[in-house]
Amino acid sequence: MGNSVVEQFYAMDYGVAPEDPKETNRWLDMHERRFGHYIDGQWHKPASGEYFVTSNPASDDKIADVAQADVADVDAAVAAARKALPVWQALSGHERARYLYALARQVQKHSRRLAVLETMDNGKPIRESRDLDIPLVARHFYHHAGWAQLLDREFPGYAACGVVGQIIPWNFPLLMFAWKVAPALAAGNTVIIKPAEYTPLTALAMAELAMEIGLPPGVLNVINGDGRVGALITAHDGIDKIAFTGSTEVGRIIRKATASSTKKLSLELGGKSPFIVFDDADLDSAVEGLVDGIWLNQGQVCCAGSRLLVQERIAETLYEKIRARMKTLRVGSPLDKSIDIGAIVAPVQLERIRSLVDQGVAEGANCWQPEMTMPGKGLFYPPTLLTGVHPTAMVAQEEIFGPVLASMTFRTPSEAVELANNTTYGLAASIWSESINVALDVASQVKAGVVWVNSTNLFDASCGFGGYRESGYGREGGREGMYEYLEPTWLHRSPQKKRAVTVSSGINGQAASVSMSIDRTVKQYIGGKQARPDSGYSFPVHSHDGRLIGEAPLGNRKDIRNAVEAAHKAEKWAKTPAHTRAQVLYYLAENMAQRRAEITARLMQFVGEELAAREVAYSIERIFTYAAWADKYDGAVHNPPMRNVTLAMNEAIGVVGIICPEEAPMLSFLSLVLPAVAAGNTVVAVPSEKYATIMGDLYQIFDTSDLPGGVVNIVAGRPEELAKTLAEHDDVDAIWCFRNAADATMVKAASIGNLKQVWTNDKYDIDWFDPAQAEGRYFMQHATQIKNIWVPYGE
């Protein structure tokens, strides 16, 4: 019998199960398939009259015409958001929570229409839009309604940034809208958001839902267009924060474009995430994890597990299972509920995938694709497995953003970690092992912001998501995501005043004659040792009344290079128990207290007797503060609505370059260096040029306090020159610059090479004697990055 039930059972072949798009088409027709911008609570035609077409990538059929914004449209949106800001912030947290709750309810009420619209515009399978994206969208609005309700109690001393510009990608258009808009509104900001030009429709549908619930005009503004619009938003002086999700290349452009501004910036960028399978793993579960890890959304996922690292002993067995599973994957119309892999979003993306796979084969990879009939119309690419990939190959290093899995083998856990970290990215990782000891040990070593244990692509509004290194900085979701849209209230009360930067005389014979009171030569402090400057020069340092105090070494690029190398050699400081770090800092305070009179006498030559005594007293207290924080700045355990826990761990960033201010020279130096050290970072610090000889007192204290060599390195010289060298150095992971607006602009622009984290005071002055401004959690937040490790439990 040719069509028996038994044959059907063993074949397990699915029939066609098309989703009916008629309700979505009715909604599109109701809008005459032409959409403007949503500004100030109303629909607006584009000022230029220009529209662009958005098409269905599965059929190449036109869906609608969408307005292209220009300068006038962006100006109108910013003006509307600025006008609405005091109105929105005047509402209580409860009132803002009710609006967010209403948006969540609207998403649930219109879930099917939104899911179909997302699939038509993006090309992803309807099952993913319906079962993953829409529930998470509603979850984010519900979750952040809770943060709005609790804002004053849970974030005391913090206020909204102001007007926020948000730019979202095309791979998860609706989910990215929720990730960005929900926390921004909960924190009390107003929003201008630009969806990707390939996928603008669900953002516009959400704008309509905002109108239906009566969200105050101007609180949410949606403007459309290509990259030109993103550039206008980024450059606009009326915007206080930029939040961007997209490619690392565009992230660099945005960092550079905002360098001369005081905008707060968060970037969620590309990834090349490792999917690590150990020989004791449940291989069948790992294969299903791979299906979700690389073939979800056609591999167009920033955290896709696109690099398979498999332990050598089981590699061939796993490959056989993967190939068998790939044969069962179905590629076809995304509106078919039995489809696993839908359409690629645009022709240019499809061509990029093909080109990179061809290059991978040319570089020696073995390419395997299952035999399947591809749709005759639309943008489709088959699931692809590349084996025998060299770690330096293009397909192992570049983000393909398609349904392509590149595989390599390893022998030991340490080799797995080395391969996993052999990339400029650091967004996510997935680790498969039946040994929880092995999994958590590797998770702690992988440089990634999110690590899934025996699972992959798990997301929740309660858990932060974001990357390390060139995958960007900042977090989306959870408490840490809320901080991206908040700033300390004191910051808004302390606008930076224009300061005259005084520079000492130089090395060209302009200094006064050397006084006989000079009693020692101050050198650079590198790797726990005093080092002569590579330049062979020093520069004079004068007292507050013009007397020559002494000379400080004039550092250069080579001194910075040596200091960075020493800092890297001391990176085991991050793995030193927090209690031990605390004890070292307490010892530091003890030694400074013992030398209090001597240090005060030396400092008073610069700042006077009264201020010197006060500064030393505060310095000792500040050391105690960070000795206390060292073992108390804990992470958290999130409880997402799945059978797992998520460990949010505070980790050191790495090597931090710190450019210190002139104000309160010793206190400000310690106020910046100590939180970095307490968190486990190593530091290359440039002291105030005007008071550079104080470094002699500092390194003598470090030498006698059991601080390992290389944890703190001090290079004196011209701060603006040394800051540029640190900002450009690709082995420096973060740079803090607390001098003036010009130097802040310079370090932000110079640091785009490896997209290091940057913290400056380019829009506020700090009173270093005020503990509310100059110490505490705000500083520890900048000294750490959060890794979320998802650990499942149960059978």
Q: Is 320 a catalytic residue?
A: no
Residue 385: which of 401, 369, 398 has the closest Cα? 369
Which residue in the block uniquely carries the two structure tokens 């991206």? 484
Contact between 137 and 175 under an 8 Å Cβ cutoff? The reply is yes
Q: Is 660 a catalytic residue?
A: no
Measured distance CA(286)–CA(307) in Å, rounded: 14
- Rounded to a whole number of angstroms, the distance between the first and last alpha carbons of the chain is 40
Measured distance CA(81)–CA(40) in Å, rounded: 7
19, 268, 470, 480: the active-site residue: 268
Residue 349: which of 379, 372, 307 has the closest Cα? 379
Contact between 166 and 125 under an 8 Å Cβ cutoff? The reply is no
The packing angle between helices 111-122 and 134-154, to 10°, is 110
Residue 737: which of 670, 626, 663, 660 has the closest Cα? 660
The packing angle between helices 93-109 and 201-212, to 10°, is 120
Residue 768: which of 623, 666, 619, 668 has the closest Cα? 668
Helix (H, G, I), strand (E, B) or coil at 658: strand
The DSSP string of 543-607 is: -TTS-EEEEEE---HHHHHHHHHHHHHTGGGGGS-HHHHHHHHHHHHHHHHHTHHHHHHHHHHHH
Paired strand residues for 684: 657, 713
Helix (H, G, I), strand (E, B) or coil at 316: helix
Paired strand residues for 659: 686, 737
Q: H or E segment at 113?
A: helix 111-122
Beta carbons within 8 Å of 610's beta carbon, 6+ residues apart: none
Count of H-run helices and E-run strands, the chain: 29, 32
The DSSP string of 329-375 is: --BS-TTBTT-SB---S-HHHHHHHHHHHHHHHHTTPEEE----PPP
Measured distance CA(709)–CA(714) in Å, rounded: 11
Measured distance CA(360)–CA(316) in Å, rounded: 20
The packing angle between helices 741-750 and 719-728, to 10°, is 20
Q: Which amino acid is at 3?
A: N
Q: What is the CA radius of gyration of the chain?
A: 28
302, 463, 660, 737: the active-site residue: 302
Helix (H, G, I), strand (E, B) or coil at 772: helix
Give the CB-side neighbour count of residue 649, counting CA atoms within 13 A.
22
Which residue in the block uniquely carries the two structure tokens 């005043």? 497
Contact between 736 and 596 under an 8 Å Cβ cutoff? The reply is no
C-beta contacts of 281-286 below 8 A and 24+ residues apart:
281/314, 281/432, 281/433, 281/434, 281/454, 282/432, 282/434, 282/454, 283/314, 283/317, 283/318, 283/321, 284/321, 285/432, 285/454, 286/318, 286/432
Beta carbons within 8 Å of 80's beta carbon, 6+ residues apart: 39, 40, 41, 217, 218, 221
Residue 739: which of 768, 761, 713 has the closest Cα? 761
Q: Which amino acid is at 403?
A: P
Measured distance CA(238)–CA(166) in Å, rounded: 13
Measured distance CA(171)–CA(56) in Å, rounded: 14
Residues tagged active-site: 268, 302
